[in-house]
Structure 1
Amino acid sequence: MNKEFIAHVVKNDDGSWSHPHLLSQHAEETARLAESFSSKFRSGEWGKVLGLAHDAGKGRVLWQEYLKAKSRYDEDAHLEGKIGKIPHAIHGAELVEQLFGKGIGRILAYCIAGHHAGLPDWSSAEGAGLASLQFQKNQVNDLDQIDGSIIDRLREVNPLHPPWKFASGLDLSLWIRMLFSSLIDADFLDTERYMDRMRASTRGGYCSISELLERLNQYCNELDVRSEHTQVNKIRKQIRATCRQRAIDEQGMFSLTVPTGGGKTISSLAFALEHAKFHGLDRIIYVIPYSSIIEQNADVFRSALGADQIVEHHSNVDDTDSTVKSRLAAENWDAPLIVTTSVQFFESLFAAKPSRCRKLHNIARSVVVLDEAQLVPAEFLAPILETMRLLVDHYDVSFVISTATQPAFKERTINGKLFKGLKEIKEIMGKEGDIQLLFNELTRNRILVPSDLHTASSWEEIAGELVRYDQVLCIVSDRKSCRELHRLMPEGTYHLSALMCGQHRSDIISEVKQKLKDHMPVRVISTQLVEAGVDLDFPVVYRAMAGLDSIAQAAGRCNREGKLSQLGKVVVFNPPREAPEGILRKAAETTRSILMSNAHDISNADFETFFEEMYWKVHSLDKAGVIALLDPIQNDPRECSIFFRTAANKFKLIDDEEQKTIWVRYHQSNRLIDELKVKGPDRRLLRKLQRYTVSIYKRDFNILKEKKVIEEVYPQMFALLPKRAYSKHIGLRIEDATDTTS
């Protein structure tokens, strides 16, 4: 490879130029790293070729002149006319197709063509237009200008063979995305070492899996010593011991079925660390459904393992609460313990953007714990479950499906049709009888359902019942119901909903916990946001009719620690307003149907029926058609036609098309919003402001804007005006400005 060709240039602080990053050096080092990353899934040679070829398009005199002129590295370098962008990625993509043929070359071409802009669609059939790989390839007419030494180096690579026989288009597309991830991370890391040595030297330095396990063991020993000797704590210790014993099982798909309040967080961590150590795996990835409940789990991990050992990757991370090292590790998940959201994890597995895909190769050789797995949306269940199977089969991943109410994920036949769920799920807690016994031992409350499942109670009637208790939590299914019931309650009753920003909710929950601990009167009206990951412990809990899983989660907030002299009381009631249309209403209707056929009793067996109804009988388990978009056999097998970008755009677990996010005025946000107006946005400031956001429907946003309740503090960034429409008691008061419901 031509020793004089340059990949990157950078100026020193004093204005002088550093020695250029030579193209030959960059290609070889990127190849070395990509080979190392992709060897984790038996594809090292593929990664090596990608590294050698990804910047081949820079090996042209035209591109070298462009780099020197654009950067002003060489004042004598010039190009005729205005200096526009001169591509290079597509040249490497076209080169590998010529060298290795369409079969092998097309797979490499997707990765190389997308290593800056993202994995492309093959053609413009789905609207990709000029960004499609087909269109880009047709624009290349100067491939002969690539330096011959680059081509000679690529010809030295051994013939490539796929590491296994692909069973489906999703299998092939996931593998291509994993190769892409290996290339992206390798390219970023080697470029960073040249461009920013300080940043590069900050990476890494975490404890090993064995060292983390030692820390956990010490924490658990101390926890057992200081914990009260209650029956609940005795059972939690037994659950933890069982998790450790089962950790030496072969890798695969596991379930951990433990009642709410049974200590799943620490027990699943014990299993994951023991399992990773026994099988020589690289990391633990905790996947939690909502960013709003990650904080509690992360706090437990920090207490057990050390604050500097936890890498959180979600939108609510505050830069003041994280280190430079942890922020860098969040880019590529190169740390032994990652805590992230379901949206981040699953959307990344179907992503096309380099920033989202960069970390994927580090999912290989890991233990993935899916917390509250029953919350996976049914309309994406087919691609999610198939991808989970592929990660287990080909990438040395073990999954732990951790929940109190195991969803019906197993393969099954319904109405004569086979649904491809998960095969061979191993329950950590043993057989069905063992689990039932565990649930019986951890029974801390009694669930009461209405004798008449169709007659609704009024909010006045519910409020009249709630005021009879000094400590009571009532959970409803929508924001409007929460506000209406809260208005009828005595002064001092707490309100919790997503119309309150994250910081506001955290403050209220902390106050509530303290009052419970001090045995003071405390009443809370909340939406379902408290049902997962919020360790409240009330003697009495009311729950508006909802899905069985929601009722079980609500019951987990009642007599959680088992300290009452009698069973806690969970009251299910028929609210005056039905649950919102969609999944919440269907869940409530399904529960009502099950209760009617079961003489109003709830048993563990009912959850299988409930989830079968919720998951397997929906209209479509792949509503966006993602599997078809990623299947070249269905599209055009001759061209290996895959629509990566379109699939990524359609695979959205949270549909934010109808939502807008605004900043509200609460405590520190006033100062932060004012700082943004003066200085403009930067990463640190936007991270801090994340704690003060509220999402609302676009129709409400437009009315708030029309009524001049919000202001545009920076282009396309909006905040409430000071002292407008935000209450320290209930959060954003949309109706005060809109006269509409929300």
Structure 2
Amino acid sequence: MGNVYAKIYFDKNKAVPETLEEHTENLLRELERIREIYGEDLKNSGVNEDFWNALKIACLFHDLGKVSSHFQRKIRKYLNETARIPRALNKEIPHNYLSGIFLYAPEIKRTIPKGYFDYVLFSVLFHHNRNLDFSPEYFRKVIELDIKNKIYDLNWLKKYGFSISSVLTDKAGILYKKLQNYYFNSSNKVKNIKRNRIFILLKGILHRLDYSASAHLPVEEGKICNLEEKLISYLSKKSNFRDLKPFQKKAKDLRNKSVLLTASTGVGKTEFAINWIGGDKAFYTLPVRVSVNAMYDRLISVFKGEQEKIGLLHSDALFYGMGKSEEIEDSLSIEEHIVRTQAARQFSMAITVTTADQLFTAVFKYPGYERIYATLMYSKIVLDEPQSYSPDTLAVIIKGLQEIAIYGGKFCFMSATIHPFINEYLKDYAEELEPVFNPEKKHKIKLEDRSIEELLSEIVSQFNRGKKVLVITNTVRKAQELFKRLSENKDVNVKLLHSLFIQKDRIEKEKQIKIPDKPIVWISTQLVEASLDIDYDVLFTEISSLDSIIQRMGRVYRKQGRVINEDSEPNVVIATQEPSDKGKIYNKEIVNFTLEALREFNCQILTDDKKQDLMMSVYDIRKISNTSFYKKFTENMELLDAGFEADTKRDAQKLFREILNVNVIPKKVYDENFDEIQKAIEIVLDKTRNHLERLRAIYNVNKFTLSMPIYKLKQVIPTQIVSGKFGKEILTVDFDYDSELGLDTSTEPNFGEII
């Protein structure tokens, strides 16, 4: 046959082949890389020389099924070459299933370390997820008439000390039975193998080696050296920095442990987490993309000189910074940004800043999840600001942390508002640290038994006194209503930020809210609770759950040195009546407990240690055990404990995110920018254009989109404007849009609860 091809790449629209030997060499090179960088760390997960030998064999044999005539013909047609297929074979069998037969050759089987044969076999057979839709008779026939005759195309294995003298056709039946048992999870032995730490590690690393070799990217970047020194060097540039705080220094002594940290907003949790990471591989997770982007920028600044080891990972990471390429690091071109984003998707970076869904969907054990769990076995996870997650999502995260800790990974779970019941679920897996509170008096609260609309005159009064005023509502619609009413007063400088702005406008508003003119009124939603580093003079907010209220408080008097005294007027005003979400976003029972607890501090200073006391009271398990909030959490925990799994990664993503979002362009925006959008779509679909041009074009379309829950579109008929070949679905919706107000959904009552 000549060369046996493994891959086809396209360079300037021309097919470029990669042989099976070349692809395998790339895997082995990456195997040596991961062993060199993290070999010592992996010893803690039970890795020994037998493991590395078994993994090498898995790398060598994982793609040998590509000698299949069907596979070769599929590849060769791009090269204007042909491959003859035996006449009786009319259907292709996935190459990964065929690769397994070579492991049964006696001279190969005896080289596999004792106890590792099934680990290697199943890792090879299922390094892709393919349908098992062929009979055992046909499987044997393909091996007999095709694969058996191709061993001479594999002579290159000799340079690695392996030689296949024959293919044992009579083992096809045994192999097919193994395929069935694993595919259908139909034997206890297979079930035990699937949960075995060494198997998960071996299969997971094989996945990563294969992905990295295929993408021609390193499976791992080097570690960050002298991390603590770099952190102190960065902090020392701040005028008020003297030294790390005692709790931040203690992080160094806790690097070999998982930890639970309750610490006030602004006291330096991030610096604690960085010092806790040390020189280890880590994933820093936050709930929303805007806060992930901000943390990524922050870590890039901390580790200047080694910023190529910091990764950004979320669904729009590739486009972050593309609209302002001159702001990307001086040494980083757009092309390098693309490569780094791809490397982050391979989990290659020393520290990756990411949304939680990129990791914790693996809890649902979809095919190929081992890639994530294997990586986390020798990594650390920082869970920052977890209060933003729903009870369903929290259950998935808690279950994931428990399993990862059992497998050898470590985590730091930290927030200003950790629910007491979370500590109960994690206390056996982590050390609970003494809370760290800001001793400064920051917030004096006032409960107003009125709706937020009825406080508009007070809001205007604060503005007229030269204050920077922040107003937070529970829904977009309420935020828009307040904005419209305040805008009627031409003397009031009022601005609005929520989730229903197109990306171009939202990015600009997120910049503006951080550096407000004074005086000003900014109206927003939950969006600003944890995602934006802002510091305002006074807060007006609708009542919500206590953890949410505390996070909202953290947006006023945030900076060190800003304090309040007993004679000061309240700087946090809470409207207790008629919250706009009507209990659909914040659990009514929890909100009632919150209001009951806060009444004790009405018109008083609420210090950070008292806030934690309130958290312990409101979220006491005995109190919340019958609430729908806690029941939902425990039901999901029980489901996961029972071994619930998702069939596909897409299903797992839907389960984690709960709500499937779609990208939409408001019809008004689409009409006004029709030529620019259509030109960009044409470029994306034109395969003669280079990769960078097409990515820029996708970015140019995306900047006119906003993300919307798909179930909210039930009452409207959206119009699809791009074909499936675009790579993602984009719709237009016939709602009015204004760059100051956002998407106006006032004509559709079902949109009221978007936050």
TM-score bracket relative to the smaller structure: 0.7 to 0.9
Describe how 1:104-143 pairs up with structure 2 within 5 A.
108=120, 110-117=122-129, 131=131, 140-142=139-141, 143=143
What is the aligned residue count? 652
1:466 to 453, 459, 463: 459
Alignment partner of 1:316 is 2:321? no
Measured against aligned partners, the alpha-carbon deviations of 1:469-497 in whole angstroms (never above 9, x if no partner) come to 12211111111221222222234311121
Contact 2:260 2:423 in 1 (8 A): no
- Deviations along 1:257-301, one digit per CA (max 9) or x if unpaired, are 22112232233223323xx3xxxx3x2211011112222222221
Question: Shift of the alpha carbon at 1:732?
Answer: 0.8
Whether the aligned pair in 2 keeps the contact of 1:54 and 1:115 (CA below 8 Å) is yes
Query: Which residue of structure 1 lines up, in the alignment, with residue 498 of structure 2?
Result: 497
Deviates more, 1:89-98 or 1:551-560: 89-98
Match of 1:246 among 251, 257, 266: 251
Report which stretch shifted further, 710-719 or 468-477: 710-719
In 1, Cα distance between the equivalents of 2:628 and 2:339? 40
Taking a change above 3 Å as real, the CA distance of residues 13 and 741 of structure 1, as seen in their structure-2 partners, is closer
- Higher mean alpha-carbon deviation, 360-369 vs 328-337, is at 360-369
**Counterpart AA for 2:366:** A
Aligned counterpart, 2:403: 390
Structure-2 change in CA distance of 1:96 and 1:594 (3 Å): farther
Is the partner of 1:442 in helix, strand or coil? coil
Q: Is contact 2:119-2:199 (8 Å) kept? A: yes
Q: How far did 1:11 drift?
A: 8.5
Structure 2 distance, partners of 1:348, 1:588, is 30
Q: Is the CA contact 1:447–1:555 (under 8 Å) kept in the aligned structure 2? A: no
- Residue in 2 aligned with 1:333? 347
Distance 1:135 1:86 in 2: 8
State yes or no: 1:726 paired with 2:737: yes
Letter paired with 1:695:
S
Kept after mapping to 2: 8 A contact 1:543/1:572: yes
| Preserved CA contact (<8 Å) 1:287 1:368 | yes
CA shift digits 1:432-458 (9 cap, x unpaired): 5xx3xx34x1331122334xxxx5x24
Whole-Å separation in 1 of the counterparts to 2:354 and 2:299: 13
**Equivalent residues of 1:502, 1:693 under 8 A apart:** yes
Contact conserved, 1:3 with 1:24, CA < 8 A, in 2?
no
**Structure 1 residue 527, shift from structure 2 partner:** 0.9
Partner of 1:548: 546
TM-fit CA distance, 1:252 = 2.1
In structure 1, what is the Cα distance between the partners aligned to 2:573 and 2:556?
A: 10
Query: What is the aligned partner in structure 2 of residue 533 from structure 1?
Result: 531
| Amino acid of the structure 1 residue aligned with 2:361 | E
Give the Cα separation in 2 of the matches to 1:107 and 1:651.
30
Map of 1:272 onto structure 2:
277
2:236 maps to 1:221: yes
* Structure 2: 5+ residue stretches without partners: 166-188, 323-327, 329-333, 686-693
The amino acid of 2:529's aligned partner reads E
**Match of 1:141, SS?**
helix
Residue 584 of structure 1, aligned match among 586, 596, 599: 586
- In 1, Cα distance between the equivalents of 2:227 and 2:194? 33
> Counterpart of 1:660?
662
- DSSP 3-state at the match of 1:115: coil
| Structure 1 gap segments, 5+ residues each | 119-130, 156-165, 194-199, 228-232, 413-419, 632-641
Which position in structure 2 is the counterpart of 1:675? 679
* 1:676 maps to amino acid: A
The match for 1:606 among 592, 604, 614 is 614
Deviation digits for residues 138-194 of structure 1 (CA, Å, limit 9, x no counterpart): 862244544679897699xxxxxxxxxx9x97981776554333112222333455x
Q: Partner of 2:462: helix, strand, or coil?
A: coil
Contact preservation (8 Å) 1:478, 1:579: yes
- Could you say which residue in structure 1 is the equivalent of 2:299? 301
Name the residue aligned to 1:346.
Answer: 360
1:563-712 map, 5 Å: 563-564=561-562, 566-567=564-565, 569-582=571-584, 584-586=586-588, 588-592=590-594, 594-595=596-597, 603-611=611-619, 612=621, 613=624, 617-621=630-634, 623=636, 627=640, 630=643, 645=648, 649=652, 652-657=655-660, 659-664=661-666, 665=669, 673-680=677-684, 682-687=694-699, 689-698=701-710, 700-701=712-713, 704-705=716-717, 712=721
**One-letter code aligned to 2:663:** T
**What code does the residue aligned with 2:61 have?**
A
What's the offset of the Cα at 1:403?
0.9
- TM-score of the superposition, structure 2-length normalised? 0.73
Distance 1:80 1:598 in 2: 84
Is the 1:366–1:398 contact (alpha carbons within 8 Å) kept by the matching residues of 2? yes
Q: 1:616 to 1:426 in 2, by over 3 A?
A: farther
Say which SS state the counterpart of residue 488 (structure 1) adopts: helix
Is this contact kept in 1: 2:443–2:571, CA < 8 A? yes
Tell me the TM-score normalised to structure 1 length. Answer: 0.75
Distance (whole Å) between structure 2 residues aligned to residue 64 and residue 460 of structure 1: 67
Amino acid corresponding to residue 91 of structure 1 in structure 2: L
2:10 and 2:451 mapped to 1: Cα distance?
Answer: 70
Does the aligned pair in 2 maintain the 1:35–1:45 contact within 8 Å?
Answer: no
Q: 1:714 to 1:25 in 2, by over 3 A?
A: closer
Which residue in the other structure is 1:258 paired with?
263
Equivalent residue for 1:479?
Answer: 476
For the residues of structure 2 that align with 1:383 and 1:154, how far apart are their CA atoms? Answer: 45
Aligned AA for 2:739?
A: K
**Partner residue, 2:205:** 182
SS in 1 for 2:597: helix
SS at match of 2:140: coil
- Displacement of 1:559: 0.8
User: Could you tell me which amino acid in structure 2 is paired with residue 652 of structure 1?
Assistant: L
* 3-state secondary structure, aligned to 2:418: coil
CA distance in 1, matches of 2:484, 2:228: 49
- Tell me which moved more, 587-596 or 373-382: 587-596
Write the letter of the residue equivalent to 2:271.
Answer: I
Q: How does 1:368-387 map to 2 (within 5 A)?
A: 368-387=381-400
Q: Is the 8 A contact 1:386 1:421 kept in 2?
A: no
CA distance in 2, matches of 1:522, 1:260: 23
| Alpha-carbon distance change, 484 to 559 in structure 1, aligned in 2, over 3 angstroms | same
1:526 corresponds to which letter in structure 2? S
Judging changes above 3 Å, is the alpha-carbon distance between structure 1 residues 253 and 668 closer, same or farther for their aligned structure 2 residues?
farther
How many Å separate the matches in 1 of 2:244 and 2:581? 38
CA pair 729-191 structure 1, distance change in 2 beyond 3 A: closer
CA distance in 2, matches of 1:512, 1:594: 32
**Could you list the per-position Cα deviations for residues 344-400 of structure 1 after superposition, in whole angstroms to 9, with x for gaps in the alignment?**
12114546365x7645533332221111123343225455324313323333x3211
Contact 1:315–1:687 under 8 Å retained in 2: no
Is the CA contact 2:93–2:139 (under 8 Å) kept in the aligned structure 1? no
Separation of aligned partners in 1, 2:7 and 2:282: 35
Q: Is the 8 A contact 1:9 1:17 kept in 2?
A: yes
The farther-off stretch of 88-97 and 5-14 is 5-14
SS at match of 1:653: helix
User: RMSD of aligned C-alpha atoms?
Assistant: 4.5
Indicate conservation of the 8 Å contact 2:594/2:618, yes or no. Answer: no
Corresponding residue to 1:521 among 508, 511, 519: 519
In structure 2, how many angstroms separate the alpha carbons of the residues matched to 1:574 and 1:70? 69
Query: Could you say what secondary structure the match of 2:532 adopts?
Result: coil
1:191-215 CA-to-partner distances (Å, cap 9, x unmatched) read 455xxxxxx4xx5896642155443
